[in-house]
A and B are shown apart, each in its own frame.
Chain A
Amino acid sequence: MTARENSTAIDTSLAISTRKLNLWYGTFQALFDIDLNIKQGLITSMIGPSGCGKSTFLRTVNRINERMDYVRINGKVDVMGENIFGSNVEMLQVRKQVGMVFQRPNPLPISIRKNILFGHTIHTGGKTGKAKQDEIVESALQQVLLWDKVKDKLDHKATTLSLEEQQKLCIARLLPVKPSVLLMDEPCSALDPKGTEAVEELLWELRGKYTILIVTHNMAQARRASEECIFMLMGKVIEHTETGEMFLTPKHKETTDYIEGRYG
């Protein structure tokens, strides 16, 4: 792929834009010619049955898939107008730009404070003063509505928190790195309804400041917590519209069938 050819297509209002993105795991093709334009500052949800390529797409956007040597990718992915596969782009810069939250909360087995500072430390070399660090920790925890709960136990191990709090912490620790895009891979699947509600509330709170792409199995959640919705099936994008429109007047039959629960 060449960055020059398609440079005319750059649109600054787009957070993520892909052209002809194909991906193979060995001989199995997981993504077929994905063309997507995800707008800045919106919450976009991705729905579709298991194995349709939602998570693969997410993992491609922050280049975490490439760790496996049998993964082959072609096509073009721009994040904030920059081709992430460009030869002048460092993978680390991509991951700084694109934070990711996983299905199961995965805080590191260290203190809450250190979890928040982890990303910051590895990018700055840890030369920040204590006061500045405290400020970073507080602001990140404030943003995810966790500050009041954990401010007295910042030195406790992160794994002692409840799952909901852990997931919020996982979101919070992305923030000091100052990403523009947050990818969330079924962030609520391990949480109870209350926790889910809290995280969804948080998503609305973060809306506008970050572009959020959330993969979910839960159609009700997609409907509640997103502004645009993408429906994927067997590695292909079937439909990408405003969320309300998708659930009221889907254009494709497959979408209708999926939304109505005929399969998936």
Chain B
Amino acid sequence: MNSPHRAGPAKIAVRSENFHRWRSRKDKLASKVIALGGFVVIAAVLLILFYLLYVVAPLFMPAKISSTDVAGSAEWLEGSTSFLSLEEQQQVALRINQNGFAEFFSLDGLQLIDSIELGGNGQRVAFVAEDHGESEIIAVVFEDGQSVLLQNHYSTDFSAGVELRKIVPKLEFPYGTGLRELMPGGGLTGLVVSDTESELVLAAAGSGGRVRLDRSTKQENFLSGEIELDRTIKELQVEFEITAITISDDHRWLYLGDESGQVHFYNTTTYQETQTVRVSNQAITSMSMLLGGISVLAGDAGGAITQLFPVRDAENKYNLKIVRRFEGHGAAINEIIPEKRRKGFMSVDADANLTIFHSTAGEMILSEKLPGLPSALALAPRASGLLILYRDGHAAFMGIDNEHPEVSFASLWSKVWYENYAEPEYVWQSSASSNDFEPKFSLTPLAFGTLKAALYAMLFALPLALLGAAYTAYFMSPALRRMVKPTIEIMAALPTVILGFLAGLWFAPFLEENLAGVFAMLLVLPAGLLLFAWFWTRASWRIKDFVKEGWEPVLLLPVILLLVYVSIEFVGPFQDLFFGGDLRTWLSQEAGISYDQRNAMVVGCAMGFAVIPTIFSIAEDAIYGVPQSLSDGSLALGATPWQTLVRVILPTASPGMFSAVMIGLGRAVGETMIVLMATGNTPIMDWNLFEGMRTLAANIAVEMPESAMNSSHYRILFLAALVLFMFTFVVNTGAELIRQRLREKYSSL
């Protein structure tokens, strides 16, 4: 053979000391840099987590009240207070005293700014009511039953510079300074005022069950453009003593509270009582509309507040339903003050407990015991401050820190009975055009949508990716494998926006048109391929020699294309026979399954397509990495390649394949662009394959640009991100644990 190499032993190269020192320094540096890299990655992930937590945390912080006594003496303060109101900057307040004067005063030192006589002919003020809607009309009724309507206006005077700006209050009488008779003879027990663009309504309750409705419809004079009022007065007589009165903002419903704890529900078109609802066994002591004028809040002598609103049934009839109850402190509710911008409200009871609630969250936010019973309270328009005048004459201002009252665990994850809904539901609807809209922040439909999209994507991707990986790694000829694997890996680099774009604009309409064809493929493809495989096993040596072992997939390509073509083109007759011509129409009309063009099936395919390369690549590596000695051992025992694959290769590769599936799932859950473009983004909860969904990730992408920074909406979107983060974290940790156990079980050598 080869003549043996006769050279002497190789010389050991002698290197300088410097060289060794330099080399060991490089070694140390490299290990430090690598360690640093790992540390930075972990730190970055933690940083993201902490930033999310930082933004989300205020949602769950309890509300706070800071109380300060207002300094200054108010010598001008005389007569008891009938009404108190605070302007937005919380610098100037309006007080109406019992003697018929409206007084503006500054909170800074309790200085009187202006005092206006309301012109009640020397009569004392009996009742003052404020419209909680947009008009902010204040109705003052004197003891003789005469009334006057006024409005307060605040303008800012910058003449002394921005720093020294002054709030200039002004009182207006939009319906004239003249008195209008509301309740002849007086004896008022309740008053409510509501002014909309089309109608002004004053409703007064008197002793002995008297109700007077003063309605003025507004008509614009087409010549002068002036508003003309057409006033009608309707008097009702009821059989019970009225303790509280309120009217819905659309003026369709009048609510009366009685001494036995019932709310009487009146239709203001027919003036008939439509319904009586018992909310308590004790007298109703106070009633008010919640912002938006749909829900009624009825406080009773037992300290509980009940929320009710009319629900329309299938026959278009309205039924007043008790929606939820807020338990108080056991003392009679003296006053309910709704917030002007949110669906929250505040109550004061006979034991001087001040309590803040939120209706959507369905819970008590905060409760504080006041030092004494207040004679009047005024809540700032943004509900960030409260001015209290006590009966002993001193005033206090309370700062309220209550940014996110609508968020509670229940309002995020449970069914909530929203206004105008027939029953409690999971709804995500974060914004609408009007201010008095009730935001619906249920994350459940979004989480559901995320799982639904991921599930359908995995349903599509898993069989293809895993079976493909097993075939490629184990059966495919090495030369073909060298082409197939990189090609599929390149698929992973495809921008998902392109996939989403194709899915939404090409595949979704295609699917809608060829629904029957696509379903036919599910039958035709496997059957056709099996048939072809059977023929192939029967084929003669001559034909088989054309295609080397492991190259069969190339042979299959034209067969697959042909089968797809056949399914799409020749499904027509079957569709005519079984589905009356069109499967899609048949589905919605005969089977009662609604069909959206952008649906879970489109997303399943598109997102499945996006995760296939990931799953395929990792799973293929895992299967390919099983030592050949194992398969040799099994084959040498006479096992078929299939038996070897199923009994030896797959179990050994299972940890890696499991990782592949989990990484694919993680990607499907977090995927944004495809679901954004191909789902229709309707946050519904339905497993229907033909309906869309909205996922957490797509929701963040859609709504983040339009949410006001640091609003509840903004923070809830961050919470959604945190939920996604936690989900991935939990899934990955779980997957890693399972993978470790599998590895322990199946590791070879």
A interface residues with partner B (beta carbon < 8 Å): 49, 62, 64, 67, 69, 92-93, 95-96, 99-100, 102, 104, 106-110, 118-119, 122-123, 159, 170, 173-174, 177, 233, 262-264
Listed from nearest, the 8 A-B pairs whose CB atoms lie closest are: A119-B637, A100-B636, A106-B629, A95-B638, A106-B633, A96-B638, A263-B1, A109-B748
Contacting pair A99 B630 (CB below 8 A): no
Contact B632 A177 (CB under 8 A): no
**Contact with B749, one of A62, A67, A159, A177 (Cβ below 8 angstroms):** A159
Other contacts beyond A69-B548, A174-B636: 13, CB < 8 A: A99-B636, A102-B629, A106-B629, A106-B632, A107-B633, A109-B746, A109-B748, A118-B637, A119-B639, A122-B638, A122-B639, A159-B748, A262-B4
Per the bound structure, the CA–CA distance linking A117 and B375 in Å amounts to 92
Question: By the criterion CB–CB under 8 Å, are B638 and A123 in contact?
Answer: yes
A177 touching B637, Cβ below 8 Å:
yes
Q: When chains A and B are docked, how far (Å) is the Cα of A69 from the Cα of B475?
A: 11
Stretch from B52-60, B164-172, B640-648 forming part of the interface with A: B640-648
Q: Could you give 10 example pairs across A and B, Cβ below 8 Å?
A: A67-B635, A95-B635, A95-B636, A95-B637, A100-B632, A102-B629, A109-B747, A118-B639, A122-B639, A174-B637
A106 contact from B1, B2, B627, Cβ within 8 A: B627
**Chain B stretch 10-45: residues in CB contact (< 8 A) with chain A:** none
Closest to A92 in B: B638
Whether A159 pairs with B747 at a CB distance below 8 angstroms is yes
Q: Does B549 contact A (CB under 8 A)?
A: yes
- Chain A residues, CB < 8 A from B635: 64, 67, 95
Q: How far is the CB of B684 from chain A (nearest CB, A)?
A: 47
**How far is A118 from B635 in the complex, measured between Cα atoms in Å?**
11
Considering the chains assembled together, what is the distance between the CA atoms of A49 and B748 in angstroms? Answer: 30
Asked whether B637 lies within 8 Å of A106 as measured between CB atoms, the reply is no
**Which of B's residues lie within 8 Å of A, judged by CB?**
1-2, 4, 477-478, 548-551, 627, 629-630, 632-641, 643, 647-648, 651-652, 745-749
Give A159 to B647 CA distance when docked, in angstroms. Answer: 16
> Judging by beta carbons under 8 Å apart, are B637 and A99 in contact?
yes
Evaluate contact between A106 and B630: CB separation under 8 angstroms: yes
CB distance from B740 to the nearest CB of A (A): 15
Q: Which A residues are in CB contact (< 8 Å) with B633? A: 102, 106-108, 170
Q: Once the chains are docked, how many angstroms separate the CA of A173 from the CA of B549?
A: 30
Residues of A within 8 A of B640 (CB): 92, 122
CA distance A18 to B632 in the complex (A): 23
A99 neighbours in B (Cβ, 8 Å): 636-637
Provide the residues of chain A in CB contact with B549, threshold 8 Å: 69
Q: Which residue of B550, B638, B647 has the most chain A CB atoms within 10 A of its CB atom?
A: B638
Tell me whether A62 and B1 are in contact (CB under 8 A): no
Interface centre among B633, B636, B643 (most CB of A within 10 A): B636
Contacts of B637 in A (CB 8 A): 95, 99, 118-119, 122, 173-174, 177
Q: How far is the CB of A71 from chain B (nearest CB, A)?
A: 10
Cβ–Cβ < 8 Å partners of B4 in chain A: 262-263
Could you tell me the distance between the alpha carbons of A102 and B631 in the complex, rounded to whole angstroms?
A: 11
CB nearest to A100 among chain B residues = B636
Complex Cα distance A154/B60, Å?
Answer: 57
Distance (Å) between the CB of B630 and the closest chain A CB?
A: 6
Partner of A177, one of B2, B551, B638: B638
Distance from A7 Cβ to chain B, minimum over Cβ atoms (Å):
22
Question: Do B639 and A263 touch across chains, with their CB atoms under 8 A apart?
Answer: no
Which residues on the B side are within 8 Å of A107 (C-beta)?
Answer: 633
Neighbour of B634 across the interface among A49, A93, A108, A262, CB < 8 A = A108
Closest to B548 in A: A69
Verify A104–B1 contact, CB threshold 8 A.
Answer: no
B747 proximity list for chain A (CB < 8 A) = 109, 159
Distance of A170 Cα from B1 Cα, bound (Å): 35
A233 to B2, CA, bound (A): 12
Interfacial chain B residues near A109, Cβ < 8 Å: 630, 651-652, 745-749
User: Residue of A at shortest CB range from B630?
Assistant: A106
Q: Count chain A CB atoms within 10 A of each CB in B1, B627, B633, B634 and give the residue with the most.
A: B633
- Complex Cα distance, B641 from A264, in Å, reads 36
Interface residue from A62, A122, A173, A262 paired with B643 (Cβ < 8 Å): A122
CB distance from A182 to the nearest CB of B (A): 10
Bound CA–CA A119/B627 (angstroms): 19
Assembly CA distance A170 to B638 (angstroms): 14
With A and B bound together, what is the CA distance between A61 and B640 in angstroms?
Answer: 17
| Nearest opposing residue in chain A for B629, CB measure | A106
Known: A95-B636, A96-B638, A159-B747. A122 touches B1 (CB 8 A): no
In whole Å, how far is B140's beta carbon from the nearest beta carbon of chain A? 89
In Å, the complex CA distance between A92 and B651 comes to 22
Smallest Cβ-Cβ distance to A183: which chain B residue: B636
Query: Which residues of chain A come closer than 8 Å to B643, judged between CB atoms?
Result: 122
Nearest to B549 among chain A residues (CB) is: A69
Minimal Cβ-Cβ distance residue in A for B748: A109
With A64-B635, A118-B634 as contacts: A69 and B629 at CB distance below 8 Å: no
The answer for the CA separation of A156 and B555 in the assembled complex, in Å, is 45
Of A69, A100, A122, A123, which one neighbours B647 at CB under 8 angstroms?
A: A122
CA distance A64 to B630 in the complex (A): 13
Please, how many angstroms separate the alpha-carbon atoms of A76 and B643 in the complex?
28
CB distance from A229 to the nearest CB of B (A): 19
Q: A233 — which chain B residues lie within 8 A by C-beta? A: 1
Closest partner residue, chain A, to B626 (CB atom)? A109
CA A119 – CA B639 in complex, angstroms?
A: 7
| Contact between A118 and B647, CB atoms less than 8 A apart | yes
**Which residues of chain B are near A264, meaning CB under 8 Å?**
1
A1 smallest CB distance to B (angstroms):
14
Residues of A within 8 A of B478 (CB): 69
Determine if A69 and B477 form an interchain contact, defined as CB atoms under 8 angstroms apart: yes
A104 with B629, Cβ < 8 A, contacts A69-B549, A109-B652 known = yes
Alpha-carbon separation in the docked complex, A170 to B2 (Å): 36
CA distance A93 to B652 in the complex (A): 26
Per the bound structure, the CA–CA distance linking A174 and B749 in Å amounts to 20
Residues of B within 8 A of A69 (CB): 477-478, 548-551
Q: A78–B550 Cα gap in the complex (Å)?
A: 28
User: Which of A93, A108, A118, A122 has the most CB atoms of chain B within a 10 A radius of its CB?
Assistant: A108
